[in-house]
A and B are shown apart, each in its own frame.
Chain A
Amino acid sequence: MNISELIHDFVLALVELGILLGSLGAVLLVNTVNSAFSLGLVFTCISLLYFVLNADFVAAAQLLVYVGAINVLTVFAVMITDEPAGSETTARGIGYIITAGTCTILFSILSFVIHNTKWSDLSLIPQSGISTSGTLGSNVQQLGYKLLGEFVIPFELLSILLLAALVGAINLARNEDAFIVNKKSAASAPYKNSTFF
């Protein structure tokens, strides 16, 4: 075992430990701010995991979108909430046991099946021009070819999806009262006071 492999294994273990601890923290921590930052740790570690697995563009995208945008959004969402009203202990009823049992069974089945499958026998179908060395440029360029050639319909659909998400989020988050007040002052309709209830 040479030194570089050792580093690799060590980094992999560290990253996965980060994911595990971070996700546990995101679920179990009482203070929501701590949970949000713990979620940030998970996202960062997942991005590093992509680096370990040699998927650099996905890693960069993960860092950019999840850590840079979505986690900030989560933290802001926590910031606009009220202070949590004390930590009441959650009741662990029959549903808790059922869920825990289901998750355990699912996990054991998954790990058993994944462990017993001979993944190395899979014949990767050689796709045109994908080089296994995979430098950053060629990898991303392959993605570009695929995205704008074969998958152009989902690509364009994504822009509409983003549009719908933007419109929907603004529609949900915008202050409707201010809008109504503006309209009221513009139309000078005095009898519409009952809209605010």
Chain B
Amino acid sequence: MNDINLFLAKLTYTSAKLTILPEIILILGLVAVVVIDLLSKGKNTFLLYKISMVTLLASAVILLWQWGFFTAYERSHARDFGNIFRFFLLICSLLSISSSVDYILCSKMSLAEFLLFKLAAGLGGMVLSCANDLVTIYVSLEFLALSSCFLSGYTKRDMRSNEATMKFLLMSGASSSLLLYGFSLLYGLSGGQLQLDKIVDGIIFNRYGSIIYLSAAFTTAGTAFKLSLFPFHQWTPDVYEGSPTPVVAFFSVTSKVAALALFTRLFGLIFPYFSNEWHVAVGLLATFSMILGNLIAVTQRSVKRMLAFSSISQIGYIMIGVLSADSGNGYASMITYTFIYILMNLGTFACITLFGLRTGTDNIRDYAGLYMKDPVLTFSLVLCLLSLGGMPPLSGFFGKLYLFWHGWKAGLYSLVLVALVTSVISIYYYLKIIKLMFTGKSGRSDTPLNSRQNSLVSLSISISKNSLEIAMIICALASTLSGIFIDPIIEITRNTFF
């Protein structure tokens, strides 16, 4: 009996010590999905779905448990930061898988590969957000990019999807090469170090100033491609328009969150010595992304394109949080807003997926009179959109408020002013859709609802249809109510300065 207790205690300690256990579970789940698909010859789709959900949940639970286990003993800010982002990525994967199963089944594509790529992308993002050396960063970044690329080309009969894949592949290749060039300079200058903290020790900053600037510039360009900041954003609208909607939902949050973690870590750890310079540069990029993203979004006709531009501007807001970090609050405002952004964006995309599934379009004018047809969908979409725009009682407002207040305190006056003005513009185009949904004459009222359903798959749909709606409602509620619980979130995220 004593032995068993001892063994259990030992096992507990080892598994808590093994910080990559959540990733290992994800790998196991990923392999299991492939193996079971091969064994059952692609028939047992519901089991695959269940396996991936259970894997993600188990991974999240273990991550939280390890986190709690460690905070009891020692506190490391970098680890807190990584853990928060890993948890975010798990939430993204969980919600987006549950909201995309339906779409995949309806368009009669095989689910196993889709789940594999989603799990793989989530895994890549998780490793990326806690990676501490250049090799791991590069491998996991490629992992994320490759999986996202396959996801965006998943509907291969669609020409637009093929175009989106091609653009995404070329752009991510180009950005990776830029990033790699910056890394190679860092590696050389530090005398052959790969660990991030050792690189900082190895580099003699005032001696090799100009070349470190060059390295920082290349790294910024590489990560800005992933984040789709202003001059590197051209791929975003095309890729978003072409890819299948649930995939867009996935990589509008996952790749952004992972790239954000990478950006913050790289610049927080390696380049703190000339923070003034890169603060100015990134501030400029953020300003332009906010202005251009919001202005171009007004003119868009497709909802997906509009959301693409809106996501460009949202990254601009989040960058304020990165720039305004200080040792007192850490990246609290950035992380809080990122969390709310994940929920709002996933909620919006879940609504659009449901709408697109029922009518087959994503034109803005087809949303006219949606209120008459499906009030639940309309209300969720309204809540998410208003939250994205930052209307007062919803959580997007609190997130933005905290972010802007933080930025103001850090002295980023012009950035915050631009952000305020552009949020007003963004509210305009969000409200345009909402107005259309409530007052618009539904011109295509004869559009048959559930037109793309097929009797052959209707059984599995009736199970998974719920999952899409549940994900949608969860996101809508969370993006409404998490403003009330913003205090504990801020409290958790406070200790994240490196």
Contacts and interface: CB of A to CB of B under 8 A. Distances in A.
Interface residues of B, number: 40
Interface in A145-159: 151, 153-154, 156-158
A116 interface: yes
Given A114-B211, A164-B150, A154 B139 contact: yes
Contact of A164 (B110, B116, B210): B116
B189 A172 contact: no
B374 to A, nearest CB: 27
Contacts of B210: 113, 116-117
A53 interface: no
Interface string B107-120: 01010010011001
Interface in A110-129: 110, 113-114, 116-117, 119, 121-125, 127
B453 to A, nearest CB: 14
B27 interface: yes
Interface stretch (B141-149, B341-349, B358-366, B465-473): B141-149
Contacts of B34: 163, 167
A127 B156 CA distance: 49
Nearest to B162: A172
The B interface is mostly helix, strand or loop, or mixed, namely: helix
A189 B456 contact: yes
A157 B211 contact: no
The A interface is mostly helix, strand or loop, or mixed, namely: helix
B214 A113 contact: yes
Contacts of A121: 207
Contact of A161 (B108, B142, B188, B214): B142
Interface in A59-87: none
A127 B193 CA distance: 9
Contacts of B142: 161
Interface in B376-425: none
A163 to B, nearest CB: 8
Contacts of B157: 176
B135 A164 contact: no
A61 to B, nearest CB: 15
A171 interface: yes
Interface string A31-47: 00000000000000000
A157 B140 contact: yes
Contacts of A168: 113, 117, 146-147, 149-150
Contacts of B193: 125
B321 to A, nearest CB: 29
Given A113-B211, A117-B208, A124 B191 contact: yes
Nearest to B165: A172
Nearest to A192: B456
A109 interface: yes
Contacts of B190: 125
Contacts of B147: 164, 168
A161 B139 contact: yes
A160 interface: yes
B202 interface: yes
Contacts of A192: 456
Contacts of A153: 20, 127, 136
A58 to B, nearest CB: 13
Nearest to A124: B191
Contacts of A116: 210
Nearest to A119: B188
Contacts of A122: 188-189, 191
B22 interface: no
B156 A176 contact: yes
A121 B203 CA distance: 12
A165 interface: yes
A161 B211 CA distance: 32
A114 B215 CA distance: 11
A163 B150 CA distance: 13
Given A161-B143, A172-B153, A124 B192 contact: yes
B325 interface: no
Contact of B139 (A113, A117, A158, A195): A158
A161 B146 contact: yes
Given A122-B191, A189-B456, A160 B117 contact: no
A172 B155 CA distance: 9
A158 B135 CA distance: 11
B123 interface: yes
A151 B120 contact: no
B133 interface: yes
A126 B57 CA distance: 45
Contact of B150 (A114, A124, A172): A172
A122 B208 CA distance: 10
A110 B188 CA distance: 15
A57 to B, nearest CB: 16
A160 to B, nearest CB: 6
A181 to B, nearest CB: 14
Contacts of A195: 108
A154 B136 contact: yes
B297 interface: no
Nearest first, the 10 closest Cβ-Cβ pairs linking A and B are A168-B150, A154-B139, A125-B191, A164-B120, A154-B136, A171-B113, A124-B191, A117-B211, A154-B135, A113-B210
Interface of A: 109-110, 113-114, 116-117, 119, 121-125, 127, 151, 153-154, 156-158, 160-161, 163-165, 167-168, 171-172, 176, 189, 192, 195
12 contacts: A157-B123, A157-B127, A157-B140, A157-B143, A160-B123, A161-B142, A161-B146, A164-B150, A167-B34, A168-B147, A172-B153, A176-B157
Given A127-B192, A168-B117, 14 more contacts: A114-B211, A119-B188, A125-B190, A151-B133, A153-B136, A157-B136, A157-B139, A164-B120, A164-B146, A167-B34, A168-B113, A172-B156, A189-B456, A195-B108
